[in-house]
Copies of this chain bind each other. A is one copy, B any other.
Amino acid sequence: MENWLTKRVLLSPKQTAVVFEGQERTFQELEQDVQKWAKHLAGLEHLPKRVAVLTENNLTGYEIILALQQLGCTLVLLNSRLASDELQFQLDDAEIQLCLVSDELGAQYQLKVEQQLTFTDLRQIKAARAQIISDFAEDQVTTIMYTSGTTGRPKGVQQTFKNHFYSAVGSALNLGLGTDDNWLCAVPIFHISGFSIMMRGLIYGMTVTLFDQFNAGKVAQALVQQPVTTMSVVPYMLKQLLALQPMVPYNSHFRCLLLGGGPIDRETLEVCQQRQIPVIQSYGMTETASQVVALSFKDAPRKIGSAGKPLFPVSVRIQGASQPGQVGEIYLQSPTLTPGYLKRPAKNKQLLAASWFKTGDLGYLDAEGFLFVKGREGDMISSGGENIFPNEVEAAYVNFPELSQIVVVGVADEKWGARPVAFVAGTRLTATALREYGRAHLAHYKVPVAFYQVEDFPRTASGKIQRRRLLNARYQQNKL
């Protein structure tokens, strides 16, 4: 297929491509800026085939990412919220020689890499011309993103142009596609949630309204005042948006919030329904280049809590389930599936040999084919022969007074194999009250055996809570 940026400029040069802090770029202007950066990059003595980028969401980062793609480089998109050691692991794993860093992050990090350049450094270098690739070959790996992996070493997920194209197409076949589409991106562009919005922008000819970070007040203002049609959110973002009172109605073009990044409680979704904010739940991962399962507008009201149905190009089955409702591991087939992990030959051999991708998530399909995700296989707590899903326990506490967050994790237990404990945030919480509430709403064995008060929760860059890290002693200092 023709280079998507070139093609998009041919198709809709004057359409707004990106809006960031009041600055606007049409596709034509964006291409011109991207070409400037491509010339800066071409001025380097040696431009490696694989280049790492470390940036927050901003216009320059956006342009440099596109410039590297235009030059045919594979991008390793680094997570700006990681610690230095974590970044260093990824740089070493991907054998990075050149790392481009935003000025702000460049002042914070000194990474061990052959060449580290800030965006300002890069601007000093220049070639007369840059060799832009004319085609986006479908099997070419254009991005590598390390999975935030709550367990084990992070793995570099390779994503091809085909992966991103089918991801955009699958989403459009579910959400529809309008000439005035405008997607608000307050999720990181180094993450698949944000990067997939950039690619949709090129493929659909859609405006991306970019935010440097998620600030509920500013984002809500944009949803009201700007012609935003769609926004990607993760649960904590949605909850913060709902917490703003009073909510002014969103602008008349607004169509939906696309909710990814893990399960959400029923009550939050019901609040959205009451306020008539269409929320499309979805399910996906870095390995599938964004959502592969999503709820449609039509089904949302009656299937609250479901992640929806597999997108048109995607197939889902539940391993071992012989009838609807049976829980098992979620298996996937999708043209958006990664061709493999970087330097993980054993893992990739497995991946290629299997006709289905094992997600490591547990869930079930109901009789109509709607997927309900129960949680990570590793998070399930097997206690005395019973299976406890942390999400289910957490959801039971959603109306507990002054409890702002609860996360349930299994701890080893000699007698029962494992038992649930809970990490809670909120005010005036007592173990007695929490335990009694649990007993009133849950089977006895599901009630957490201990409650720990915490200040905040360990999260991945996309806002997912890292349950396993709660088992570190520092989260268990304040037992209720």
Contact = CB atoms under 8 A, between A and B. Distances in A.
A217 interface: no
A23 B283 CA distance: 37
Interface string A1-18: 110000110111100000
A172 B179 contact: no
Interface in A206-223: none
A169 B296 CA distance: 19
B335 A11 contact: no
28 contacts: A2-B315, A2-B333, A7-B312, A7-B315, A8-B312, A10-B309, A10-B310, A11-B309, A12-B298, A13-B368, A169-B169, A172-B172, A172-B173, A172-B177, A173-B177, A173-B203, A173-B204, A173-B205, A176-B176, A176-B177, A176-B178, A176-B179, A177-B177, A178-B178, A179-B296, A179-B297, A179-B298, A203-B312
A336 to B, nearest CB: 12
A206 B368 CA distance: 20
Contacts of A333: 2
A369 B10 contact: yes
A284 interface: no
A313 interface: yes
B176 A11 contact: no
Interface string A359-381: 00000000011000000000000
A176 B175 CA distance: 11
Contacts of A2: 315, 333
Q: What are the 7 closest A-B residue pairs judged by CB atoms, nearest first?
A: A177-B177, A10-B369, A176-B177, A2-B315, A176-B178, A169-B169, A11-B309
Nearest to A1: B313
A22 B329 CA distance: 45
Contacts of A8: 312
Contacts of A296: 11-12, 179
Interface string A266-277: 000000000000
A136 to B, nearest CB: 11
Contacts of A176: 176-179
A368 to B, nearest CB: 8
A8 B8 CA distance: 30
Nearest to A315: B2
Given A1-B335, A179-B298, 4 more contacts: A10-B309, A11-B309, A176-B177, A176-B179
A164 B312 CA distance: 14
Nearest to A314: B2
A178 B298 CA distance: 12
A209 to B, nearest CB: 19
Contacts of A204: 173
A371 B8 CA distance: 16
A178 to B, nearest CB: 5
A203 B311 CA distance: 11
Contacts of A310: 10
Interface in A303-334: 309-310, 312-313, 315, 333
A145 B282 CA distance: 40
Nearest to A8: B312
A11 B312 contact: yes
Nearest to A13: B368
A355 to B, nearest CB: 11
Contacts of A10: 309-310, 369
Interface in A164-209: 169, 172-173, 176-179, 203-205
A313 B166 CA distance: 12
A12 B203 CA distance: 25
Nearest to A335: B1
A315 B7 CA distance: 9
Contacts of A11: 296, 309, 312
A204 B313 CA distance: 11
A81 to B, nearest CB: 34
Nearest to A369: B10
Interface string A138-179: 000000000000000000000000000000010011001111
A1 to B, nearest CB: 6
